[in-house]
A and B are shown apart, each in its own frame.
Chain A
Amino acid sequence: QVQLVESGGGVVQPGGSLRLSCAASGFTFSTHGMHWVRQAPGKGLEWVAFIRRDGSMTYYGDAVKGRFTISRDNSKNTVYMEMNSLRAEDTAVYYCAKRMTSGGDGEIDYWGQGALVIVSS
């Protein structure tokens, strides 16, 4: 079965950096694009970033553009999110999520359990 396991969350000071990882299993990782979506405490869902299956293209939400970088290592079945210049408003649970289709466009079908990132002094 599909499993997405995030790690790397924690408490960081404003202006600091953090790297999240998401280890994938149960499907052919290299044939699926991957997303990061976040949810601030008590709030709704906010899409953060996407990376194509081969890493050739990435897309970002305006709130994180220029500060966050999504990447992947298909040899390790892992997707990453490098987060720099963190702000209090970046405090959220960060979910790793899988694109449903192996080619073309499409929705998200599976979500990880999430990693909590708290930005606070």
Chain B
Amino acid sequence: DIVMTQTPLSSPVTLGQPASISCRSSQSLVHSDGNTYLSWLHQRPGQPPRLLIYKISNRFSGVPDRFSGSGAGTDFTLKISRVEAEDVGVYYCMQATQFPFTFGPGTKVDIK
């Protein structure tokens, strides 16, 4: 199974300041079809996860442009250009290149 790791696991941020989360996979996430199925999810307390970014860097419908994704192969990053109050919660990276799909442990983002 592909193991996903994230750093940091906790990130206190200041409103209006940038934030960054790293995700690393134990093996390349490049699929045989040439795509890299690495996505980022956001989960607020008591809510289901919500897709933010898919295939490394594509923002999902309705996701603000302050969210961006980058990376390749085994190393990926989610950046929030200016954190807003609604961005608090837990962020997960997820690989969908190979079954079983696997998730990172999550990064808890809260306001300082």
**Residues of A in contact with B (beta carbons under 8 Å apart):** 35, 37, 44-47, 50, 59-62, 95, 100, 104-114
Q: Which B residues are CB-close (under 8 A) to A45?
A: 41, 49, 92, 94, 103, 106
A50 near B54 with CB under 8 A, answer no
B100 near A61 with CB under 8 A, answer yes
CB-contacts of B35-64 with A (<8 A): 35, 37, 39, 41, 48-51, 54-55, 60
Q: Which B residues are CB-close (under 8 A) to A113?
A: 48
**Residues of B in contact with A (beta carbons under 8 Å apart):** 1, 31, 33, 35, 37, 39, 41, 48-51, 54-55, 60, 92, 94, 96-97, 99-106
Tell me the minimal C-beta distance from A102 to chain B in angstroms: 15
Known: A45-B94, A111-B51. 15 other contacts (CB 8 A): A44-B92, A44-B103, A44-B106, A45-B41, A45-B92, A45-B103, A95-B49, A107-B39, A107-B51, A107-B94, A108-B94, A109-B51, A109-B60, A111-B49, A114-B48
B105 near A44 with CB under 8 A, answer yes
B103 near A46 with CB under 8 A, answer yes
**Docked complex Cα distance between A107 and B54 (Å):** 7
B54 near A100 with CB under 8 A, answer yes
Known: A100-B54, A106-B96, A109-B51. A47 touches B37 (CB 8 A): no
Tell me the minimal C-beta distance from A34 to chain B in angstroms: 13
A105 near B37 with CB under 8 A, answer yes
A112 near B99 with CB under 8 A, answer no
B103 near A107 with CB under 8 A, answer no
Q: Which A residues are CB-close (under 8 A) to B31?
A: 105
**Docked complex Cα distance between A95 and B48 (Å):** 8
26 examples of A-B residue contacts, CB within 8 angstroms: A37-B101, A44-B105, A45-B41, A45-B94, A45-B103, A46-B103, A47-B100, A47-B102, A47-B103, A50-B99, A62-B100, A95-B48, A95-B49, A104-B33, A105-B33, A105-B97, A106-B96, A107-B51, A107-B54, A107-B55, A107-B96, A108-B39, A108-B51, A108-B101, A110-B51, A111-B49
